[in-house]
Amino acid sequence: MKLLATSDLHLGRHSSLPFEESDTGMTASAQTWHRIVDLAIREDMDALLLAGDLVDQSNRFFEALAELERGIRRLVEARIPVVMVSGNHDHEVLPELVQRLQGEKDPSGEPLVHLLGRNGRWETRTITVRCGEQLQITGWSFPEQQSRYSRNPMETYEPPPQSGLVSVGLLHCDVNQSDSVYAPVASADFNGTGLDYWVLGHIHKQIVWRDSAPEVFYPGAPHPFDAGEADAGTVRVLDTDDGSSEVPVAPIRYVTLAYEVTDGPGSRMRGEFQDELRALAEHPAIRSDALQLLVLTVRCRGTVSALNRFMEVQGEHEGEYIPVGEDLRAVVRKWIGEPQVETDLEKLAENSNPAGLLASWILHIDRKQASLAASAGQGDGEAGEKKGGQDGKEDSGQHDGEAGSTDSAKGDGESGSAQAEYPEELKELLDACREEYRTLAGHGVFKPVVDGGQVPPEPTDEMIESLFRARSMTLLQTLITQAEERK
């Protein structure tokens, strides 16, 4: 038995592009929907499973509903059953659609279009699929007139009677987000549910929570709508003999391309950029017969001068199509320049300018940390030798106390000595940083991520030095980049 599973079509929405697209069909999720229908018919799928949000709420009674109905009618003509649940976007539309399609039945008189779990009540049906076998499906739908549902629908779930049939659950929900208003559930809720598969809707990225007994997954949105949905664009095929697999169906993919730019006669410019694009298009995770357009975010790394020259050469591609293959084009939605600057701290510290001063402060902190790390390593070795020599002695408590006292005094002395080596202006800045930390911690600004979930009101020297170093490195990079740009 082969089942095609998808969700979150959001019919009525279009992919965002950096310019006005004349071919609106390519950007519309409706085109991907009809590709899914083509796939189901071409590959002789035994049923199509839809886990909610099939139409977009803002356009649910216009072009979206008509496109959905047209695709389902094609599936009905091919005698492929369609089973669905409603999500938070289509809970008003689907009951109306199923009402119009209720007369569509197979030769035996069994309905071919099913909406399960209306009004938030679990429902199980046994249907005959295209191959003639029977399939048990359980589903829950968002209640009509409720686009938000803060309760966990799995609290009212009861396993259906054991039938020996292949069994599937359909649910539009938010996994492991207890404060969600979109049917929050826990991943552990699917354990022991007695089903073979759970097809979930709501999250547009494909996620497999469990790959066996039962297999629990989000198939993800088959059509991406913006750059934040780089992982969208596929459907999932459940083959009871050969296992599950994903199939790309979207004509558009959003991709980030990291590109290194170099100076000199052998600098990488347009020709190499085209090569990068062609290599990207051949990547197994990207390549697809369905793909027509790559929408690119290009992260360019290199020196400031190389980046400036690269942008001049590539400027003509802004908002224009770039041919990649016979049936594939690309368009750049955003260039991101990431200057790589020289940060040889020893060399920079030789200068008396602000960058040199910052570099010298960073070096002071690095040297202290290196010294403490070396001392700690030596101390650990000495402690190990002492412990080995003292094994079996009755007064081990006394020795432990003495060792702790000695270690503490040694550590304080070294820390104080290293601190004393700091220039006065650096010590003043570290003290100011410490006061700032105390103020922010007192106002609950920091997240409780250390010391067992509590932010220490009094930071250690190492914490303050690390914070100051990170800020100084950021400022140093900015100063060097500005100097490069002025050249």
State the architecture of 2-249 in CATH terms: 4-Layer Sandwich (3.60)
- Predicted confidence at residue 211, as pLDDT, reads 86
| Domain ranges, ordered by start, for the chain | 2-249, 253-339, 345-380+410-479
Which residue in the block uniquely carries the two structure tokens 């000595």?
417
Residue 190 pLDDT greater than 50, yes or no: yes
pLDDT confidence of residue 316: 52
What the block records as the tokens of 452 is 């067992």
In contact, 296 and 258? CB cutoff 8 Å: no
452 or 148: which carries more pLDDT confidence? 148
pLDDT at 257: 85
The count of C-alpha atoms lying within 13 angstroms of the C-alpha of 10, restricted to the half-sphere facing its C-beta, is: 20
Position 76 pLDDT exceeds 60: yes
pLDDT, tens digit, for every residue of 402-428? Answer: 333 333 333 343 444 445 578 899 999
What is the average pLDDT across 70-98?
92
Residue 41 has pLDDT above 90, yes or no: yes
Q: Comparing 386 with 371, which gets the higher pLDDT?
A: 371
pLDDT tens sequence across 242-278: 999 999 999 999 998 887 777 665 555 555 777 888 8
Q: What is the pLDDT of residue 123?
A: 97
Reported as a pLDDT band with limits 50, 70 and 90, residue 447 is: very low
Measured in residues, the chain has a length of 487
Least confident of 60-64, 72-76, 223-227, 272-276: 60-64
Over the chain, what is the mean pLDDT? 82
CB neighbourhood size of 344 (10 A): 9
The DSSP element (H or E) to which 170 belongs, if any, is strand 166-172
Confidence of residue 401 (pLDDT cuts 50, 70, 90): very low
Residue 175 pLDDT: 94
Q: What are the backbone dihedrals phi and psi of residue 462, each rounded to the nearest 5 degrees, phi first?
A: -65, -40
User: What's the pLDDT score for residue 417?
Assistant: 43
pLDDT band at 189 (very low <50, low <70, confident <90, very high): very high
Strand-pairing partners, residue 245, are: 237
Which range (6-20, 68-82, 177-191) has the least confidence? 6-20
H/E stretch holding 74 = helix 63-77
Q: Check pLDDT > 70 for residue 223.
A: yes
307 has pLDDT over 80: no
**What are the distances in angstroms from CA 331 to CA 20, 228, 254, 295?**
12, 16, 10, 5
Q: What is the pLDDT of residue 342?
A: 58
Q: Give the pLDDT confidence score for residue 397 in this predicted structure.
A: 38
Q: Given a cut of 90, is residue 198 above it in pLDDT?
A: yes
Confidence of residue 240 (pLDDT cuts 50, 70, 90): very high
The mean pLDDT of 333-357, rounded to a whole number, is 81
Rounded CA separation 262/305 (Å): 9
CA atoms within 13 Å, Cβ hemisphere of 402 = 8
Please give the average per-residue pLDDT across 416-443, as a whole number: 78
Cα distances (angstroms) measured from residue 397 to each of 238, 263, 390, 403: 65, 66, 11, 10
Model confidence at 157, pLDDT cuts 50, 70, 90, reads very high
Residues in Cβ contact with 176 at an 8 Å cutoff, skipping those fewer than 6 apart: 185, 186, 187
Q: Which pair of structure tokens corresponds to residue 103?
A: 């007369």
Which band of pLDDT confidence, cut at 50, 70 and 90, is reported for residue 398?
A: very low
pTM for the model stands at 0.70
pLDDT of 151 above 60: yes
Residues of the chain with pLDDT > 90: what percent?
A: 40
For residue 179, pLDDT over 50 is answered with yes
Q: How far apart are alpha carbons 93 and 109 in whole angstroms?
A: 25
Angle between helices 461-486 and 424-442 (to 10 degrees): 110
User: Of the candidates 31, 172, 194, 162, which has an alpha carbon nearest to the alpha carbon of residue 94?
Assistant: 172
Beta bridge partners of 260: 301
